[in-house]
Amino acid sequence: MPEQQFTPALKDRAATLLALHVPGTPVVLPTVWDAWSAKLAVDAGFSALTVGSHPVADSIGKEDGEGMSFDDLLARVAQITGAVDVPLSVDVESGYGEPAQRIIEGLLSVGAVGLNVEDTVHKEGKRIRSAEEHAALIGDLRRAADAADVHVVLNARTDLFLRQDGDEADRFDRAVSRLKLAADAGADSLYPVGRHDDETYRRLVAELPLPVNAIAQPDQDDPASFGPLGVGRISFGPFWQGALAVRAKEILGRWQ
């Protein structure tokens, strides 16, 4: 493993990122996709960022859902960490078919100290991993991070809500159950991805043992509305890039 992965700077960045996850006082991690967007966010005062697979894929002309490779993603992350000096978490989708050690070593080699991994397996017909299988992946990632001597911040995501998987009557309970298994396996935060109402967020926060990641639409949602729900982390998914795209079309439309 490259010596860079054992530097105090990486360990300090990982510790800083983890400490920012405070339920009720959520860290806002703008979802960026290149050096330009990352510098915009840092210049606006944000102290940590997340890299989103969807906006990165869009920016390089590939499809979300692992239409790009892990190496494609690492190349972009390296550009971002070369441009800004803040803790960075990276959306690795379902892992690109890579072993946990390769994922951790790859991210650390380009200066990232966190990741978010989902339970939709894109390379296998978009099946959803079983709760036990997803927890096993989280455990493998934690052990790989421990071996690298950096506490990489693991954000365990489930797509049950997003994909409206199975019976709605027990979907909440199934999501909570699998996220609890992920927590037991070594996750640091939990991401029941989807647009939820306030009561659902309150229930999730009450039942889950780790900080909950909420997704926000940055041009529409009230920034002050999430803290009272008890969430510990806010990210934007593809919505910041999408909002900029709408504005860009308006500007360009004046010249048609």
* pLDDT value at residue 7: 75
Are 226 and 234 within 8 A, CB to CB? yes
The CATH number of residue 32's host domain is 3.20.20.60
Global confidence as pTM: 0.95
Mean pLDDT of 155-175: 96
Are 117 and 98 within 8 A, CB to CB? no
* pLDDT value at residue 3: 41
Query: Mean pLDDT lowest for which of 4-18, 32-46, 90-104, 155-169?
Result: 4-18
Distance of CA 24 to the CA centre of its chain: 19
- Domain span at residue 16 reads 3-253
Mean pLDDT of 88-116: 98
Per-residue pLDDT band at 2 (split at 50, 70, 90): very low
DSSP at 130: P
HSE-CB for 192 with a 13 A CA cutoff: 31
C-alpha to C-alpha distance for 232 and 214, rounded to whole angstroms: 8
Which two tokens mark 148? 């690298």
Mean pLDDT of 129-142: 98
Give per-residue pLDDT as tens, 229-248.
Answer: 999 999 999 999 999 999 99
Indicate if the pLDDT at residue 28 is higher than 70. yes
Give per-residue pLDDT as tens, 62-84.
Answer: 999 999 999 999 999 999 999 99
70-83 vs 100-109: helix crossing angle, rounded to 10? 30
Indicate if the pLDDT at residue 122 is higher than 60. yes
Give per-residue pLDDT as tens, 177-228.
Answer: 999 999 999 999 999 999 999 999 999 999 999 999 999 999 999 999 999 9
Q: Which helix (H) or strand (E) holds 50?
A: strand 49-51
SS3 assignment, position 132: helix
Number of structural domains the chain divides into: 1
Percent of the chain, pLDDT > 70? 98
Q: What is the mean pLDDT of the chain?
A: 96
